[in-house]
Amino acid sequence: MWSDTVPGVDIVVHTRVADPWSVLTVAGELDVVGAPELRQHVINVVRGGHHRLVLDLSGVAFIDSFGLGVLVGALKRVRLLDGDLRLVVTEPRVQRVLEVCDLDRVFTIHPDLETAVAGA
């Protein structure tokens, strides 16, 4: 699709391992431009054998249906591999959009990274 062809300069994703979790720290806008970039990062991390992901969305000020779609896709991807996905959400806007779409009942959401990587 066309949105996958946009050059990747709109979000910043840092990946690090907090065993057994792989943490992707995301900053930027998860819209039609930024969301496909995150999807590619998730695909790369999962292909690298990491199936337990934490997506830290603390630096995400805007998320739309494309961003939500990538989050749902990431959850589906890791569950197929018997993995898990946790979200860190601190921005009220992001929390509101998740709630409006009932996705707060689909995802495991943590208020900070420490609790997200605590326990397995």
Residue 25 Cβ, how far from another protein at the closest point, in Å? 21
Q: Provide, rounded to whole angstroms, the least separation between the CB of residue 76 and another protein.
A: 5
Site string for another protein, 14-43 (x = CB under 8 A): ---------------x-xxx----------
Q: Are the C-beta atoms of 107 and 98 separated by less than 8 Å?
A: yes
Tokens 């896709």 appear where? 73
Distance CA 40, CA 118 (A): 26
Q: Strand, coil or helix: what is 21?
A: strand
Whether residue 111 is preceded by a cis peptide bond, meaning omega within 30 degrees of 0, is no
Q: For another protein, which stretch binds (CB under 8 A), given 14-22, 41-49, 69-77, 108-116? A: 69-77
Q: Report which residue type is found at 111.
A: P
Footprint on this chain of another protein (rule: CB under 8 A) = 2-3, 6, 29, 31-33, 62, 64-66, 68-70, 72-73, 75-76, 79, 92-93, 96-97, 100-103, 105-106
